[in-house]
A and B are shown apart, each in its own frame.
Chain A
């Protein structure tokens, strides 16, 4: 009998694998985000064109995807394992495939399909080219070579791997619902998160106070702008992230029209691009002063 890989062991195995490849083991961010890309360990770090290899788990919130814990694959919150390698190594695709073997997939017994997926995060003004990686038809990873972030061209091209941990675990454990995943040998994913899913689905779809959220959005946006003016892009970025999450809740709540949606995305993107520009500016100032010191 094969030993069952628990959810927590999969996280540990993947983290160790990427640690061996030279990644710094980081932690999730302390604010609601829709993807690991929002974490400053990605968004801010890819702007400076310096070597940066990192791996961390991110708790991703996608309010629209909640299904009251009734759909086996759809949840408003899930775990991503995020890997950034900057610059992207030549062997990155093989590293990635080996990481799948390392958690227990024999490539000879599965199909790994690289499905063209031009990735973009409209609220971050970021885009890249790469793939959705499907394992036996199930999308488990987003594999992207970043080209732009915060509206700025990147020079050292980072590669981003975003593993959908629940989905990988489902395939490994052979269960048909995320809820049935063994987290450890005693508890399932459902034991840990079922109630959370039900309550947040209700919140996102019907209980959220849209008037409050719209007002918060406006205030956070104003605060971000004020911080930018003070030359504080990092705290300003925190408020940018908050705006992005509020937007996601409003959208799930069905409170914004298609065209308003476009406008709100543009507003968040404007904040993100200001963050990017301010950070770039600081980086170039620093490198100028470093050169000055050397002289």
Chain B
């Protein structure tokens, strides 16, 4: 049994995808071992900000031997009548160095053949790892990479060393211009001297000695332990989440912790400001409600006093700024800030921020039918929601992320209604995919109103997205609108909302490009909800912008999808579409002209079904609707089997086309079924 250590050392890695990279590497190495039949006892995934790796104990020196079967001649030619090997079989055995005991008979498609069973001796583990590890490293994927030498490899940060040790031997392959060897690098606060490793088992202890806890699980526990220890004698509860601890874990090689504090006057700042400043200054952990915080750092314990002093200074300076802005803004007050919005231009040619606020407030009227919505509150919040863009706080880039939140605070200070305050605070949500949504109805609708206005404004001012160009992030805005409407089950027709807003703009623009934009956003949203692209397409073929309705139709379709009955129905609809493709203005059905019973039956079934459908569409009972449509299938099939639509008699042909069209229109009320892709179909 031997051990294997692989460590890729680099300059500090982006914490957001460190653990993912380490897991990918370790999974791929284990996958290789399994595939190559190399037994191993235990696997440890390694990551710190400066390395990813894997430590594998108890490997076999060689691959497990493999038995291969070599196909020989057919059985009937291999043996003579006395079941003795023929010359042919003897030749085969000789050529492949086989003994009689290794010969078996196998039944294959073409008949019975003899086979030679042969054991292939395993390759050395060393040779396999030497060959395959660099290949694995090449396949690692990252969201963002860089190069650091001319024409060199791509990786998130420069690779500076690689350790590849199989027991006492180093595997000297080269990756990204770096030759693998047996020297690791420790924590640079401790020493620059490389750490020489004789064998993998020394790794964890020697690195610990060099100021690196390489095992992420051990380090995570240590971080929490250090925090608890640091706050033992203080009041207040450390305020942290698992995400924060993991982020600290990804930026720390050797955790130590120290408590520091800020001047108590800063406790006058809104909580969100304090929390944001502490978070952005290095994941500092607030001991709420005190003026203290914990700093986890990654250096020698000796550094404790300097670290404490440093973070105290930095946090103090940031909070000084925050309080400076906050006081100035409060002194200025909401009313004067609002007056100033008249001077701040929004998008080119679209007036000021003040004009935008008035427009949002007017647009609010469109949403008056939303249940439990207080329109007065919404209109007031719309008027005030952009005022904080004029505050000193939000104009400073360190605090811009607090937009809305500060607006809420300033509105509260000037005595606005509580509901107005919450709507303002929440109206930027969701800021990214997966972010939380506003909690109040007014907050939800204000967010929608603002985002639709951002989108329309972008299109009107020449900032329409195309390809990777989307300077005002309108795609994100569009997605958020769809998400908000659906998550709150709002009965809103988006296209009508767009039209209502365009009226307020009094600008000449074809609304189709906006409809197209929202349709495309809705497709993306529904895809993320795991609906099939072709089914979404079928549903949105004649879409008017009702998101909830579209989702319900998709859900109903999804239940049907794949069933044999349904597939036949889709095939039928494709046929219908084909027949009708070149037909212009099919007229009305004349029952007098029916010649065959299948025509009559289909017409009867169609009109019957159509009569039942309108109430079901009203009730949005889509599963039932699909059942009814499905129930038409026998009559449709019968019709196509028995009746020749394109017959000689022009009159009868026209009448039959009219019937097909009638049926088609019934289906189109739900969606365009011909867009659904069925298995085996080329598309």
Contacts and interface: CB of A to CB of B under 8 A. Distances in A.
Nearest to B250: A116
Interface in A131-157: 131, 134-138, 145, 147, 155-157
B348 A115 contact: no
Contacts of B188: 93-94, 97, 107, 112
Contacts of A93: 11, 160, 188
Interface stretch (A6-14, A195-203, A258-266): A258-266
Given A111-B189, A129-B146, A157-B150, A260 B348 contact: yes
B303 interface: yes
A155 B150 contact: yes
Interface stretch (B294-302, B408-416, B475-483): B294-302
Contacts of A90: 160
Contacts of B146: 128-129, 145, 147, 157
Interface stretch (A68-76, A181-189, A223-231, A242-250): A68-76
A157 B150 CA distance: 6
Given A108-B302, A157-B147, A136 B307 contact: yes
B189 A112 contact: yes
B401 to A, nearest CB: 14
B585 interface: no
What band does the interface of chain B fall in when counting residues whose beta carbon is under 8 Å from A?
35 or more
B251 A113 contact: yes
B12 A116 contact: yes
Nearest to A157: B148
B568 to A, nearest CB: 54
A260 B298 CA distance: 43
Nearest to A260: B345
B203 to A, nearest CB: 22
A116 B15 contact: yes
Interface string B2-34: 000000000110111000000000000000000
A176 interface: yes
Contacts of A262: 471
Contacts of B150: 49, 87, 155-157
Contacts of B16: 116
A254 B282 CA distance: 30
A114 interface: yes
Contacts of A257: 344-346, 352-353
A107 B189 contact: yes
B303 A263 contact: no
Nearest to B461: A259
| Chain A binding surface, main DSSP class | mixed
B164 to A, nearest CB: 19
A241 B606 CA distance: 74
Q: By CB atoms of chain B within 10 A, which of A131, A136, A262 has the most?
A: A136
A137 B148 contact: no
B345 A259 contact: yes
Contacts of B189: 107-108, 110-112
Contacts of A156: 150
Interface in A58-101: 64, 67, 71-74, 87-88, 90, 93-94, 97
A67 B324 CA distance: 10
Contacts of A278: none
Contacts of B389: 258
Contact of B149 (A94, A129, A157): A157
B310 A137 contact: yes
A109 interface: yes
Contacts of B297: 111, 113
Nearest to B312: A137
A83 B612 CA distance: 79
A153 B238 CA distance: 46
A107 B299 CA distance: 9
Contact of B147 (A114, A147, A171): A147
Contacts of B395: 254
The 9 A-B pairs of least Cβ separation, nearest first, read A136-B310, A114-B12, A111-B299, A137-B311, A257-B345, A137-B310, A73-B317, A129-B146, A111-B297
Interface of B: 11-12, 14-16, 49, 144, 146-151, 156-158, 160, 188-190, 192, 251, 281-282, 295, 297-300, 302-303, 306-307, 309-311, 313-315, 317, 320-321, 324, 344-348, 352-353, 389, 395-396, 461, 471-472
Given A113-B282, A134-B282, 6 more contacts: A94-B188, A111-B189, A116-B12, A136-B307, A157-B148, A259-B346
